A and B are shown apart, each in its own frame.
Chain A
Amino acid sequence: MAYIEFKDIDKFYGKNHVLRGINLEIEQGDFVTLLGPSGCGKSTLLRCLAGLEQTSGGKIILDGEDITQKDPKDRNIGMVFQQYSLFPNMTVKENLAFGLKLQKLPANEIEKRVKDSIEMVELMGKENEYPSNLSGGQQQRVALARGIVMRPKVLLLDEPLSAIDAKLRKSLQTSIREIHKELGLTSVFVTHDQDEAMVMSDVIHLFHDGIIEQSGNPVNIYTKPATPFAAGFIGNYNILNRADMKKLTGKDWDGDIAIRPETLILSREQISSGESYKMQGEILDRVPRGNVLRYKVRTNGVEVYVDVLFRSASMYEIGDTAFMALADHNCVRL
């Protein structure tokens, strides 16, 4: 039996059907990400698990116990919010001790746990600062420490990094991952950023309009999108219908096909290797994206994106003609 189970979870806000019969299982010790575009219901599901939102139907089981009707304070779940939500009138230390004091733990135990958590998020020396004197990144570290100091059964993180700049974000992603491993936590992370989901997760659940489109590990989700939405949301897939696929490959297809841009091969010479489909195209556009160049290529009236490693020596100019090849196993049936 899974550690956390959502069974047929429904949630309505008035007439707005936000969660449509969610069934989801989370294993103990996993780092699970709910990924999806804005407004698809990720936060709502997380808040139902936290108890901050009532479900309209269905059951939530945690560690073998039905917690659907339980108060948030009795669920033993930790949460890190997007807006930090630290208590402004308390120092870092007091923020961390808040919940421990409520549990009436002995003072030396509180002291020790607070100290451990502060060390874990590397905020030594900031114990007696007020939140307003800390940077955004530091505040989020405090929020993270406050989430783990209670030793919760599950740690929930609702887009904790979205207000933090790109560089700091990377380092916090690593910290969160490490803390998750070190404490053997079960974590549920919410994000709308597919790269972040790829980097951090053991399992990704892709959300769309209140249902789960696809679940799997990051490699699986990336290489084998199961639906047009999944292909569109992840990895900038080229999504082609039957007619376009016929024009591209000269063969009949039985449905929509997704092709990752980096699986198309561009060359100046005729390609003789064993790729399944070969064609010729015209370069329409060229955009540098970090270490790859993304070309827009038109071949036989079909436009596709092709990613090529950025080497200035072998760049194509707009208007150039290039040979192109594609392997059959890189055409993902949706």
Chain B
Amino acid sequence: MQKKKNIGAKIIVIVVIAYLLLPLLMTLIYSLFKEWIDVVPTGFTFAAYAELLADPAFWQSVLRTVIISVIPIALCTVFVLLAMYVVVLYHPEWDRFMQVLCTIPYAIQGVILPICVLSLYTGAPEPLNNRMVMLVATYMVVILPYVYQGIRNNIAGVGAGRLIEAAQMLGASKLYAFFRVVIPNIMSGVTVSVMLAMAIVFGDFVIINTLAGGHFMTAQMYMYDVMKKSGQRTCAVIIILFVVTLLISGFAFVLQSKQGKKKTK
């Protein structure tokens, strides 16, 4: 009985995984073959990849995308952690206010946000009118609800207040307790919300196109350009971007688990 159930569960998991991976697999195949006659692709080639990798514009755009996603996420996470430090330790009554404040960005989605930013800041003095600064700041606002909610839930989940009190009774300051006891305990949860934020930023086209379009190129825009020229190269871009995201996530997870291990050594 138990075994049967297990097999059933496994089948479902495999089917779901296959369903999710199929488009990616097809993209990969499409990027590796010249032609698609009937049902069989022919003419295996790395040409699309070779062209892309040789194109400095492509690398620059990917690098830009990585920078404008990593910086706002890192900054946003640090700011939220600092804000939560104050809320948890000194002003628990501000929690509700924080929650409302951090949920507002949900309401201003889509094209409204970048257009407002543009019309507000194009005439502003340096560095506010810098497109890169605008982008980073706008992304920080966009991912704020996700980062905040993730961190808040984890802080509540580990009972941060009680842990800090226990640490204080053992001779730790509040600051030390927050950074050495609470943060290591919420790290895995924070990593998840960081990944979510990463996915949101990588998937954005509207904001980046409105704010940066015509000024510099990012991976999304590069892809959009390529799409008009060659389907095969588009697929190659997608695969490379996927690998880059995978590497970044993998890196984050390794960092997090290393930290976890160090704490337990």
Contact = CB atoms under 8 A, between A and B. Distances in A.
Interface stretch (B39-47, B144-152, B157-165, B223-231): B157-165
Contacts of A52: 165, 168-169
A146 B167 CA distance: 10
B158 A88 contact: yes
Interface stretch (A27-35, A94-102, A297-305): A94-102
A272 interface: no
A87 B185 contact: yes
Interface in B130-173: 158-159, 162-163, 165-173
Contact of B173 (A73, A85, A86, A90): A73
A52 B174 CA distance: 11
B264 interface: yes
B169 A50 contact: yes
Contacts of A77: 169
A72 interface: yes
Nearest to A102: B171
Given A85-B162, A85-B165, A102 B170 contact: yes
Interface in B161-216: 162-163, 165-173, 176, 181, 184-185
Contact of A89 (B165, B170, B172, B263): B263
A150 interface: yes
Nearest to A82: B162
B171 A150 contact: yes
B234 to A, nearest CB: 44
Contacts of B171: 73, 99, 102-103, 150
B172 A94 contact: no
A158 to B, nearest CB: 11
A83 B181 contact: no
B163 to A, nearest CB: 6
B202 to A, nearest CB: 30
A113 B167 CA distance: 18
B172 A90 contact: no
Given A89-B263, A89-B264, A94-B264, A146 B184 contact: no
A159 to B, nearest CB: 14
Nearest to B184: A89
- Most chain B CB atoms below 10 A, which of A79, A89, A99, A146: A89
B170 A85 contact: no
Given A88-B185, A89-B260, A83 B162 contact: yes
Contacts of B158: 88
A330 B109 CA distance: 78
A91 B265 CA distance: 9
A86 B184 CA distance: 14
Contacts of B176: 102
Contacts of B168: 51-52, 71-73
Interface residues of B, number: 20
Interface residues of A, number: 26
Contact of A83 (B159, B167, B169): B159
Contacts of B185: 87-89
A36 interface: no
A222 interface: no
A89 B167 CA distance: 13
B264 A85 contact: no
- Most chain B CB atoms below 10 A, which of A77, A86, A98: A98
A78 interface: yes
Interface in A94-140: 94, 98-99, 102-103
A81 interface: yes
A85 B172 contact: no
Nearest to A146: B170
A99 B163 CA distance: 13
Nearest to A128: B264
A247 B168 CA distance: 59
- Most chain A CB atoms below 10 A, which of B165, B169, B264: B169
Nearest to B170: A99
A99 to B, nearest CB: 3
Interface in A43-58: 50-52
A90 B158 CA distance: 13
A81 B263 contact: no
Nearest to B188: A89
B165 A87 contact: no
Contacts of B172: 73, 98-99, 102
Interface in A61-83: 71-73, 77-79, 81, 83
Contacts of A99: 170-172
Given A98-B167, A99-B171, A81 B264 contact: no
A79 B167 contact: no
Contact of B169 (A72, A87, A89): A72
Interface of A: 50-52, 71-73, 77-79, 81, 83, 85-91, 94, 98-99, 102-103, 146-147, 150
30 contacts: A50-B169, A52-B168, A52-B169, A72-B168, A72-B169, A73-B168, A73-B170, A73-B171, A73-B173, A78-B169, A79-B166, A79-B169, A81-B165, A85-B163, A85-B165, A85-B166, A87-B166, A87-B181, A88-B158, A89-B184, A89-B185, A89-B263, A90-B263, A91-B264, A94-B264, A98-B167, A98-B170, A99-B171, A147-B169, A150-B170
Given A79-B169, A81-B162, A83-B159, 10 more contacts: A50-B169, A72-B168, A73-B168, A87-B166, A87-B167, A87-B181, A89-B263, A99-B171, A102-B170, A102-B171
The 5 A-B residue pairs with the shortest CB-CB distance, nearest first, are A99-B170, A85-B166, A79-B169, A72-B168, A85-B162
